[in-house]
Amino acid sequence: MDKCNDIVEKDKLVYSSAGRMPYYPLVIAKGQGALVEDVDGNQYIDMLASAAALNTGHAHPHIVAEITQQAQKFIHYTPAYMFHEPLVELAQELIDITPGSFEKRVVFGLSGSDAIDGMIKHARAYTGRSIIISFVGAYHGATYGSLSLSAISLNMRRKIGPIVPDMHHINYPNCYRCKYNLDNTTCDLECFKELEEALSNYIPIDNVAAILIEPIAGDSGVNEPPQRYLDKLYNLCKENGVLFAVDEIQQGFGRTGKWFSIEHFGIEPDIIVMGKAIASGMPMSAIVAREEIMHSLEAPAHLFTTMGNPVCCKAALATINVIKNEELIKQAEELGAYMKKRFEQMREKYEIIGDVRGKGMSVGVDLVKNRNTKEPNKEAAAKICYRSWEKGVIIAFIAGGVLRIQPPLVITKEQIDTALDGIEASIQEYIAGSIPDDVLNVAKGWTN
Ligand SMILES: Cc1ncc(COP(=O)(O)O)c(C=O)c1O
């Protein structure tokens, strides 16, 4: 680990402490498909896909070729002033693959965060209202607008002064840790009543521009809301002139076994925000929304010099082709179900696994101190994560004690088996007490 440690030490001398949540000192040298190699030549199976940004895997040859060819022609000319074909082609593709049989328009950005800010601007402009409602536990990004809609870490609020006003957060439905101790197949959606109560006491619905939800909530622990909850939320929006906006930045582009996770619920959102996997790791995001919403702002209300970069557009077009041609959505559904089943089998064996959740290749393994209290077991998650890395498997943990399992969709069944064997062996070693406490000084993950 000489070179890795050396680079990590140098990094400490030059890089911002606000910009990294460390899990272990992995210094990437190269990657191919679902495999990664570090600068010391160690091999890993990637079960994290760069935080769900690499659905097509590392260095996919078709995507690399498209990026290279475009870079040789021209790297950029800002679409704020001029036009280029890759942007038009990509916008059309996004209109075609997103749910919603109505006229849509697209705008590009550079990160999920700035696209969330764009959603806020357009929703406010279109409705003439200012309030946006999102959910406790959500991560929507780190720009002022997107962090104001996030509610996951106090470090995102400390020391930075006033945030964007008129952002309200309500509890996301959490069926595993139901506050009301109810069964979600028979309950009366008590959690939805929290929203109704807020709307009748301190959030005037006629001031609400949009409700923003992750149809499968990623960083808050891969939580899935009941269909009935989303139906009610959608109806509430439609009855009150509120826009229904979804954050698909983490779950989009085939990860859950559909192009976008909202499709599992059969709902056509007014606004879809996407990023991460859209261009296989190249910096790009997009908002796709009803035409009339997108036309509610005029330039220069939402533009960036390097938005819709043609190299990124070509990477995104190639990403969509690869997802289609290699049937990665089907692969996410089938191999994802296999992967989830194996974790469920582990749950039968190990008391510390309280719950296994998720769809397709977006799976959360919730580690608990006690199955009755369901208290999150962050120490177990940190140690298992670190030991898995030592065994050649890249994972992370979120929401206290949830192992985040989101491999590239191109991963093979054999690679999944090898990776899950490594994770299972790490769970056994944790239970046997053979993972030392000092790894907790390194494997910190999300902090508060
Ligand atoms: C659901 C969700 N929304 C928004 C973001 C922010 O995206 P970015 O990091 O590209 O700004 C993320 C990133 O983790 C995310 O997972």
Could you write out the DSSP letters of every residue in 383-395? HHHHHHHHTTEE-
Q: With 80 as the cut, is the pLDDT of residue 1 above it?
A: no
Q: What is the 3-state secondary structure (H, E, C) of 135-153?
A: EECCCCCCCHHHHHHCCCC
278 shares its domain with 377: no
Under 8 Å between Cβ of 320 and 97: yes
Question: Please, what is the Cα angle at 166 between 240 and 127, to 5 degrees?
Answer: 40
Dig out the tokens for 419 from the structure.
Answer: 């990776």
The pLDDT assigned to 447 comes to 81
Q: Please report which confidence band the pLDDT of residue 323 belongs to, taking 50, 70 and 90 as the band edges.
A: very high
Under 8 Å between Cβ of 110 and 284: yes
Pocket of ligand 1 contains residue 111 by CB under 6 Å: yes
Calculate the average pLDDT of the chain. Answer: 97
The pLDDT assigned to 439 comes to 95
109 shares its domain with 16: no
120 shares its domain with 179: yes
The tally of domains found in the chain comes to 2
Q: Please report which confidence band the pLDDT of residue 413 belongs to, taking 50, 70 and 90 as the band edges.
A: very high
Tens of pLDDT, residue by residue over 6-17, are 999 999 999 999
Q: Which of 301, 325, 349 is the last residue of a domain?
A: 325
The strand ranges marked E within 110-242 are: 131-136, 167-171, 208-213
Pocket of ligand 1 contains residue 366 by CB under 6 Å: no
Q: Is residue 276 included in any domain, yes or no?
A: yes
302 shares its domain with 253: yes
Q: Of 23, 46, 31, whose CA–CA distance to 406 is shortest?
A: 46
Q: Is residue 18 included in any domain, yes or no?
A: yes
The rounded distance, in Å, linking the Cα atoms of 57 and 210 is: 34
Q: Ligand 1 centroid to 134 CA: how many Å?
A: 14
The rounded distance, in Å, linking the Cα atoms of 319 and 336 is: 19
Atom of ligand 1 nearest to the CA of 141: 6
Pocket of ligand 1 contains residue 249 by CB under 6 Å: yes
Q: Which of 296, 325, 354 is the last residue of a domain?
A: 325
205 shares its domain with 261: yes
Q: Please report which confidence band the pLDDT of residue 446 belongs to, taking 50, 70 and 90 as the band edges.
A: confident
Q: Ligand 1 centroid to 180 CA: how many Å?
A: 30
Start-to-end C-alpha separation, the chain: 30
376 shares its domain with 417: yes
The rounded distance, in Å, linking the Cα atoms of 244 and 228 is: 15
307 shares its domain with 409: no
Tens of pLDDT, residue by residue over 257-301, are 999 999 999 999 999 999 999 999 999 999 999 999 999 999 999
Q: Is residue 65 included in any domain, yes or no?
A: no
272 shares its domain with 380: no
Q: Is residue 64 included in any domain, yes or no?
A: no
Residue nearest to atom 4 of ligand 1 (CA): 140
Give the CATH number for residue 383.
Answer: 3.90.1150.10
Q: Ligand 1 centroid to 373 CA: how many Å?
A: 30
* Mean predicted confidence (pLDDT) in 155-165: 96
Pocket of ligand 1 contains residue 112 by CB under 6 Å: yes
Q: Is residue 68 included in any domain, yes or no?
A: no
Atom of ligand 1 nearest to the CA of 217: 1
Give the CATH number for residue 142.
Answer: 3.40.640.10
The pLDDT assigned to 45 comes to 98
- Return the SS3 of 442: coil
Return the biggest CA–CA distance within the chain.
62
283 shares its domain with 363: no
Pocket of ligand 1 contains residue 265 by CB under 6 Å: no
Residue nearest to atom 3 of ligand 1 (CA): 140
Pocket of ligand 1 contains residue 247 by CB under 6 Å: yes
Tens of pLDDT, residue by residue over 191-219, are 999 999 999 999 999 999 999 999 999 99
Q: With 90 as the cut, is the pLDDT of residue 389 above it?
A: yes
The values of phi and psi at residue 274, to 5°, are -135, 160
Q: Is residue 448 included in any domain, yes or no?
A: no
The rounded distance, in Å, linking the Cα atoms of 22 and 157 is: 20
In this structure, the strands spanning 28-32 and 35-38 are antiparallel
Domain that holds residue 387: 2-59+327-441
In this structure, the strands spanning 285-290 and 393-394 are unpaired
CA distances from 277 to 20, 168, 180, 318, 389 (A): 20, 28, 36, 12, 23
274 shares its domain with 405: no
Q: Is residue 224 included in any domain, yes or no?
A: yes
Pocket of ligand 1 contains residue 333 by CB under 6 Å: no
Tens of pLDDT, residue by residue over 80-137, are 999 999 999 999 999 999 999 999 999 999 999 999 999 999 999 999 999 999 999 9
Atom of ligand 1 nearest to the CA of 276: 10
CA distances from 356 to 301, 337, 339, 344, 350 (A): 43, 11, 11, 6, 12
421 shares its domain with 312: no
DSSP state of 263: G
The pLDDT assigned to 59 comes to 98
Angle, nearest 10°, between helix axes 328-349 and 310-325? 70
Question: Please, what is the Cα angle at 381 between 44 and 19, to 5 degrees?
Answer: 70
Percentage above 70 pLDDT, the chain: 100
Atom of ligand 1 nearest to the CA of 143: 11
Q: Is residue 213 included in any domain, yes or no?
A: yes
Q: Ligand 1 centroid to 91 CA: how many Å?
A: 20
Q: Which of 282, 302, 325 is the last residue of a domain?
A: 325
Tens of pLDDT, residue by residue over 24-74, are 999 999 999 999 999 999 999 999 999 999 999 999 999 999 999 999 999
Tens of pLDDT, residue by residue over 166-181, are 999 999 999 999 999 9
Tens of pLDDT, residue by residue over 344-354, are 999 999 999 99
386 shares its domain with 254: no
Atom of ligand 1 nearest to the CA of 219: 16
Q: Ligand 1 centroid to 139 CA: how many Å?
A: 7
Under 8 Å between Cβ of 129 and 208: yes
Pocket of ligand 1 contains residue 139 by CB under 6 Å: yes
